[in-house]
């Protein structure tokens, strides 16, 4: 059984022997250099610090690199505590900057995963090749099907006597080793700008469920489901062949590069024969201290994960606040507190669990040991502050809950949005915590009304703020104006499908496409995307007029018109609405224009264009992004 320390050591030695310069991890906090992070708060993937070099800039260490990068990812925060998700993780990666390509990258990935050599520099992980399954890109309008990667894999499996290597991977009814999957699974990009391309991913049957036999496409999809996890992704080779600008692929890179990655937590889980990442040596001791604070397994895991991530963030100088990186840190700390049985940390709890985290990681990452006093002091201060507010807020909640459950409140059995917002704004209770408390008292929360109160608060508090950008429009060309109106229809359609929990988080509109960011806690299904498209296209076909009415801020708020929180609102507001009257309008929003006169203009000069969602993806914790076109 290999430990996490041995896995790290063997990985770096293996690729160093193959001409790769060994790099130290870049910080978790991203560089402010333009083009490096695309405005992300943290390094969320191993490739982020190397984007300029993947685009062609010369790296001082050469064209072959290897590292283990610290990462923070909060888009899957709700999944933390399951078998494989964590906020802080270590990404092992080897890199070719215009040097080798698919054949070498795939060959070395397979060799390191399966090698049983005892020679330093050739030692691998010794995984059983018969329990490996791989995926490749099936192709779409942006790039061709990756038959090259598929053929390389089939050749490797055949040469090593792995059963099922010669089966055509295009026949989904036959059992095999290689599976073609769409861009949502086998395409990698770091955002709207930068290198991107297809990838191939390696999965391992951790419990030997399939006995080393080939499986069908349907079996693989089932085995990879979150609630099944019979196979776990252990490696990923990205082939950086293309470049994106403003969300659109603009061409191929002059020198294709390779970005490979393997999550240390998942590999350790596989090598230690563990059922989940929390039963590995990376978490095992930390969990023991979390168990003294929480009786439920998932709560223990959340505490361990969040305190580990918080420690690394504080070690890099992040302090709790209500914005940006500080907000993420504050949220992690508060979620850790809320998941304890008593909803509190004692000073001893803090010292015990942080001491264990430092002991586990201090040798590999000295900064966490050097910053130990700061980590302890920051956590003590923040937890004490939150615990005090939590205690007062919980008492206030209990008083409200008893009133509504007894029928003495304004809505029997339901905590109003106004009451919930007071608990949020005055006591700092997160809305998800309020909802959980409500379940304990067998009452409900009017979340929709809470969101309305929250939006109203944001609009009023930011009414004098400086405008970040004018509606997110690149220009006022005919196509940009069409996309601007389409964005209004999309915004309302999202509310139609997901309810009032959806909130606009930003937009970017140009003559090529629209981009819309919104609050939503999970990935959209194909069926949900189809319903959104159908709603928008129906409104286009109905040829509804676009009207505008100017009114005071108070009047505008009373209409229920939607609005972006990044806009500047003065005494007079222009409300654009889709329909004959503002009361019967399908969509109404605070907006400065410009817009089309009628939704039928979105169908194009010949009336044949349709609204189509190109991509839906996560951009940060609880925020999704849609890119769409009229074509």
* Spatial contact of 36 and 51, defined as CB atoms under 8 Å apart: yes
Over residues 33-55, mean pLDDT: 69
Most confidently predicted of 68-77, 360-369, 517-526: 360-369
Whether residue 321 is predicted with pLDDT greater than 60 in this model: the reply is yes
Whether residue 469 is predicted with pLDDT greater than 60 in this model: the reply is no
* Spatial contact of 125 and 113, defined as CB atoms under 8 Å apart: yes
In the DSSP assignment, the letter for residue 278 is: G
Q: Work out the pLDDT band at 38, boundaries 50, 70, 90.
A: very low
Q: Work out the pLDDT band at 631, boundaries 50, 70, 90.
A: confident
> Which stretches does DSSP call E strand in 38-126?
64-72, 88-96
Whether residue 177 is predicted with pLDDT greater than 90 in this model: the reply is yes
Q: Work out the pLDDT band at 186, boundaries 50, 70, 90.
A: very high
Task: Look up tokens 């608060």; give the residue.
Answer: 457
* Percentage with pLDDT > 70 across the chain: 92
What distance in Å separates the CA atoms of residue 614 and residue 264, rounded to the nearest whole number? 32
Instruction: Provide the pLDDT for residue 569.
Output: 54
Over residues 231-258, mean pLDDT: 89
Instruction: Provide the pLDDT for residue 397.
Output: 92
* Spatial contact of 491 and 504, defined as CB atoms under 8 Å apart: yes
Q: Work out the pLDDT band at 621, boundaries 50, 70, 90.
A: low
Whether residue 472 is predicted with pLDDT greater than 90 in this model: the reply is no
268-304 pLDDT tens trace: 999 998 989 999 999 999 999 999 999 999 999 999 9
pLDDT mean across residues, the chain: 87
282-292 pLDDT tens trace: 999 999 999 99
DSSP 321-379: -SSHHHHHHHHHHHHHHHTSTTS---HHHHHHHHHHHHHHHTTT-HHHHHTHHHHHHHH
Instruction: Provide the pLDDT for residue 33.
Output: 38
How far is CA 471 from each of CA 10, 40, 228, 501, 625, rounded to the nearest angstrom?
51, 21, 43, 21, 16
The pairing of beta strand 194-205 with beta strand 132-137: antiparallel
* Spatial contact of 587 and 488, defined as CB atoms under 8 Å apart: yes
Whether residue 377 is predicted with pLDDT greater than 70 in this model: the reply is yes
* Spatial contact of 239 and 218, defined as CB atoms under 8 Å apart: no
* Spatial contact of 504 and 565, defined as CB atoms under 8 Å apart: yes
What distance in Å separates the CA atoms of residue 133 and residue 139, rounded to the nearest whole number? 19
How many Cα atoms occupy the beta-carbon half-sphere of 87 within 13 Å?
27
* Spatial contact of 163 and 154, defined as CB atoms under 8 Å apart: no
Instruction: Provide the pLDDT for residue 32.
Output: 45
Q: Which fold has domain 4-278?
A: BirA Bifunctional Protein; domain 2 (3.30.930)
Instruction: Provide the pLDDT for residue 24.
Output: 93
Span 478-630: which CATH code? 3.30.980.10
Over residues 93-108, mean pLDDT: 96
Instruction: Provide the pLDDT for residue 564.
Output: 56
Whether residue 264 is predicted with pLDDT greater than 90 in this model: the reply is yes
> Which stretches does DSSP call E strand in 381-500?
414-415, 444-445
What distance in Å separates the CA atoms of residue 296 and residue 287, rounded to the nearest whole number? 11
Whether residue 566 is predicted with pLDDT greater than 60 in this model: the reply is no
Instruction: Provide the pLDDT for residue 271.
Output: 94
Whether residue 37 is predicted with pLDDT greater than 60 in this model: the reply is no
407-466 pLDDT tens trace: 654 556 899 999 998 888 777 787 878 998 898 888 999 998 988 887 776 554 444 333
Instruction: Provide the pLDDT for residue 109.
Output: 97
Whether residue 352 is predicted with pLDDT greater than 90 in this model: the reply is yes
């Amino acid at each position: 059984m290999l430990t996490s320390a041995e896995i790290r050591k063997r990985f770096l030695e293996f690729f160093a022997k193959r001409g790769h310069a060994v790099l130290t991890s870049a910080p978790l906090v991203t560089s402010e250099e333009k083009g490096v992070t695309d405005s992300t708060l943290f390094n969320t993937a191993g490739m982020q610090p190397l984007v300029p070099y993947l685009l062609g800039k010369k790296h001082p260490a050469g064209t072959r690199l290897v590292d283990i990068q610290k990462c923070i990812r909060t888009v899957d925060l709700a999944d933390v505590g399951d078998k494989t998700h964590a906020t802080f993780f270590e990404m092992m990666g080897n890199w070719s900057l215009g040097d080798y390509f698919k054949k070498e990258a795939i060959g070395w990935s397979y060799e390191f995963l399966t090698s049983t050599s005892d020679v330093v520099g050739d030692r691998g992980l010794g995984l059983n090749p018969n329990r490996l399954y791989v995926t490749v890109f099936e192709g779409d309008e942006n790039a061709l099907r990756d038959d090259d990667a598929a053929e390389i894999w089939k050749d490797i499996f055949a040469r090593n006597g792995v059963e099922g290597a010669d089966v055509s991977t295009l026949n989904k009814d036959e059992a095999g080793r290689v599976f073609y999957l769409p861009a949502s699974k086998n395409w990698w990009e770091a955002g709207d700008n930068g290198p991107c391309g297809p990838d191939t991913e390696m999965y391992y049957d951790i419990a030997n469920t399939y006995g080393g036999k080939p499986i069908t496409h349907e079996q693989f999809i089932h085995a990879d489901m979150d609630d099944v996890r019979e196979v776990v992704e252990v490696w990923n080779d990205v082939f950086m062949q293309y470049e994106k600008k403003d969300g659109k692929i603009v061409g191929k890179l002059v020198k294709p590069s390779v970005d490979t990655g393997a999550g240390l937590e998942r590999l350790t889980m596989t090598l230690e024969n563990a059922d989940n990442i929390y039963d590995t040596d990376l978490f095992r001791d930390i969990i023991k201290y979390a168990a003294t604070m929480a009786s439920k397994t998932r709560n223990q895991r959340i505490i361990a994960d969040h305190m580990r991530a918080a420690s690394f963030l504080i070690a890099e100088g992040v302090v709790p606040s209500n914005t940006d990186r500080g907000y993420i840190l504050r949220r992690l700390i508060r979620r850790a507190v809320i998941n304890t049985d008593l909803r509190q940390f004692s000073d001893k709890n803090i010292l015990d669990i942080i001491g264990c985290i430092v002991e586990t990681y201090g040798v590999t990452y000295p900064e966490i040991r050097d910053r130990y006093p700061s980590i302890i002091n920051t956590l003590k201060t923040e937890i004490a502050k939150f615990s005090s507010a939590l205690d007062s807020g919980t008492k206030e909640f209990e008083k409200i809950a008893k009133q509504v459950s007894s029928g003495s409140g304004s809505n029997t059995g339901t905590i109003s949005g106004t009451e919930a917002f007071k608990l949020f704004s005055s006591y700092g209770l997160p809305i998800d915590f309020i909802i959980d408390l409500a379940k304990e008292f067998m009452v409900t929360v009017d979340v929709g009304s809470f969101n309305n109160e929250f939006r109203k608060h944001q609009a009023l508090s930011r009414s004098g703020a400086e405008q970040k950008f004018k509606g997110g429009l690149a220009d006022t060309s005919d196509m940009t104006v069409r996309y601007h109106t389409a964005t209004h229809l999309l915004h309302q359609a999202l509310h139609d499908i997901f309810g009032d929990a959806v909130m606009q988080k930003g937009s970017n509109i140009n003559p090529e496409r629209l981009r819309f960011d919104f609050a939503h806690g999970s990935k959209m299904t194909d069926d949900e995307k189809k319903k959104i498209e159908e709603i928008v296209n129906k409104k286009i076909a109905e040829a509804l007029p676009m009207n505008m009415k100017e009114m005071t801020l108070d009047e505008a708020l009373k209409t229920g018109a939607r609005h972006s929180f990044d806009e500047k609102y003065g005494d007079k507001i222009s409300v654009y609405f889709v329909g004959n009257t503002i009361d019967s309008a399908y969509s109404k929003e605070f907006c400065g224009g410009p817009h089309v006169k009628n939704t039928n203009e979105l169908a194009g000069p010949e009336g044949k264009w349709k609204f189509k969602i190109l991509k839906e993806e996560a951009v940060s914790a609880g925020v999704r992004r849609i890119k769409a076109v009229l074509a």
